[in-house]
């Protein structure tokens, strides 16, 4: 990189996949790692392992995917020129989560319309809910491929 630093890159040396990123890696044995980092000129310059779980259960992977959603927003905020000092952590002091008793977060992705898809599985593991923000909610699905919009099922 010419005359630029990790925190002050030159756009002429920048690659499309450079910038702040978050990755969730799950290997064939179910070991999971959530990583947050900075890539410049296709080289990881900074990184931090947020979570690492050996033989993660589907519920644990769902919890990591929930953190992935938050960290994707943080990464894009930083890529847009924001700084960590500007992140308004104070909004979390009074906020409460949505608690779906008997259900666990299972998967997430963004569909072709740009809307976030959230999937939940019940405690017994035999029913699913697919909530496509701003589009629809399919409840009590027996199979995640069973939905009113099968052509939109495209998890990453």
Task: Give the chain's domain count.
Answer: 2
Residues in the chain predicted with pLDDT less than 70, given as ranges, are 1-10, 144-156
Q: Is residue 140 in a domain?
A: yes
Q: Please state the pTM of the whole predicted model.
A: 0.77
Instruction: Give the range of the structural domain holding residue 42, as residue numbers without chain letter.
Output: 11-83
Identify the bridge partners of residue 23 per DSSP, sorted by sequence position: 35
Indicate if 72 and 19 belong to the same structural domain.
Answer: yes
Other beta carbons within 10 Å of 56: 20
pLDDT at 2: 34
Distance between CA atoms of 127 and 144, rounded to whole angstroms? 9
């Amino acid at each position: 990189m010419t005359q630029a630093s990790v925190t002050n890159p030159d756009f002429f040396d920048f690659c499309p996949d450079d910038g702040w990123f978050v990755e969730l890696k799950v290997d064939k044995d179910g070991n999971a790692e959530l990583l947050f980092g900075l890539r410049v000129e296709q080289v990881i310059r900074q990184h931090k392992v947020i979570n690492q779980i050996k033989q993660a259960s589907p519920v644990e992977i769902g919890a990591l995917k929930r953190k992935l959603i938050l960290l994707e927003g943080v990464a894009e905020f930083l890529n847009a020129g924001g700084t960590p000092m500007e992140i308004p952590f104070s909004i979390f002091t009074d906020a409460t989560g949505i608690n779906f008793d008997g259900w666990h977060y299972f998967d997430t992705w963004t569909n072709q319309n740009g809307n976030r898809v959230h999937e939940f599985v019940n405690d017994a593991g035999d029913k699913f809910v697919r909530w496509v923000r701003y589009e629809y909610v399919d409840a009590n699905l027996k199979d995640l491929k069973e939905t009113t919009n099968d052509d939109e099922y495209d998890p990453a």
